[in-house]
Amino acid sequence: MWCNGLLCGPGLFICAILSGELDAVTKYEHLFKVDFLLVVGLSFICAFILNYSLFMNTIINSPLTQVVCGNTKDVFTILVGFIIDSSPKSIWNVLGVCVSASGSFLYAYLTFRA
């Protein structure tokens, strides 16, 4: 991820300049307000903790554990999303989730079977 950030950073900076986003950010009226800076700082801290925990998890655990935990997390996230979401459920929603989960499990199975 460090390499990705270093390699993509200059290109993204150039794109931000060319698209006018950098100018829009510098003109943002709340840019130097304490509450905005606090939220941005907390976001940076959360991102750092997330990335650090992902690196540590990858270093400590085996690839099989990563795949099993990843698939379990995906299924849990899908189920919680279905329970919490109040929008009407259709057969197409359920079918799409089943196809997605099946593809994830099949990929994991074929990867570790070889």
DSSP state of 20: T
Domain ranges, ordered by start, for the chain: 62-114
pTM value > 0.75: no
Residue 90 gets the label, from left (phi > 0), alpha (psi -120 to 50) or beta, of beta
Each residue's pLDDT tens digit, 2-56: 687 789 989 999 999 999 999 999 999 999 999 999 999 999 999 999 888 878 8
Residue 16 CA to residue 52 CA, distance in Å, equals 27
